[in-house]
Amino acid sequence: MTLRPPTVQWLADDGAAYRQPGPSARQHGFLDIIDQTKLPKELVRLQLCNPDDIYDAIKRLAVRGAPAIGCAAALGLAAVAQRLQASSPPDFIQQVRQIADYLASSRPTAVNLEWALNRCLGKLTAGSIPDLQQALLDEALAILQEDIAMCEAIGRHGMTLLRPGMGVLTHCNAGALATGGCGTALAPIYAAQAAGCDVHVFSDETRPLLQGARLTAWELSVSGVKVTTICDSMAAQVMREKRVDIVIVGADRVAANGDAANKIGTYQLAIAARYHRIPFYVAMPYSTIDRNLSTGDSIPIEQRSPDEIDHCPGVQVYNPAFDVTPHDLITGYITERGILAQP
């Protein structure tokens, strides 16, 4: 088994890496991420401190997955803030707020992005510019550390649903590459593996960007988990063949009634799972629940570039990045607070 490298971290100027706050982590540095567009062929890390570069990394999915985006944006904001030229603390705060608004506009669907940035902005109260810079870094590292602990808790709760030899179907990537820790939908699998309970994961390829075939398959395989990649269109047949005992997916935003937005293709999985009487679970941080939205109809759905699926010039393209699974198709929600029947 190969150890999974951290997806998001703080890299100090001297090369030391940090993933939790503390006196030793109070260092000038960079947001450090895996460039997921290069996987699985290359493992490339990016060190970022420019707002345009951080925006671009989020937009083009160099970093992706709702929790990882939130952690990266928070650390990125801290890196940018360390390099701002401000005349006074109020001027510094105004500049940081503008940068946070800019980063928040990079991807509209995942609630964690805006949540993490707003949490960092909440630390900009009083003090000198160095004090405010340090407050941003401390809070960003706290968010990352809490995300790591959250993933572990989701894993502990979710593993109670698994038994040796079970077939687990997942969609897109909601593992270590999508979070600061070991993942959301994949966390129960890693927890079960650590407890000696081996399962067989079926990973949807996840068109059009193949996050399942490229990312989920890669991180599970290097972690020693049995994984089989299937085309998205094969999922119902694999269910029919009784190879799947449970479906676990992630979520980028969950409405107050439990409707869940996740990578496009999730909704049809839930329908197929219901028909085949297979339990369908959504694993996510509790912070993914947006109480301001009563139903999934209000969740903003990101539209991706037509270039991702345009193979015939002159043909119109419709390319939503996410769909919304109605709450009545969801068996339960695996969160750090436990397995919930409703959010």
Which residues are known catalytic residues?
252
Say if strands 45-48 and 29-34 run parallel, antiparallel, or are unpaired: antiparallel
Half-sphere exposure of 191 (CA within 13 A, CB side): 23
| Distance (Å, whole) CA 92 – CA 146 | 27
Q: Which of these, 27, 340, 322, lies nearest to 174 by C-alpha position? A: 322
The residues, any chain, with a CB within 8 Å of residue 57's CB and separated by 6 or more, are 33, 35, 46, 48, 63, 72
| Distance (Å, whole) CA 241 – CA 169 | 13
CA distances from 188 to 28, 259, 309, 312 (A): 35, 22, 33, 41
CA distances from 62 to 11, 57, 249, 250, 321 (A): 17, 5, 21, 18, 15
Q: Which of these, 300, 297, 302, 304, lies nearest to 325 by C-alpha position? A: 297
CB of 293 closer than 8 Å to CB of 327: no
Structure-block tokens of residue 21: 């706050």
Instruction: Work out whether the CA dihedral 103, 107, 113, 115 comes out positive or negative.
Output: positive
| Distance (Å, whole) CA 243 – CA 278 | 11
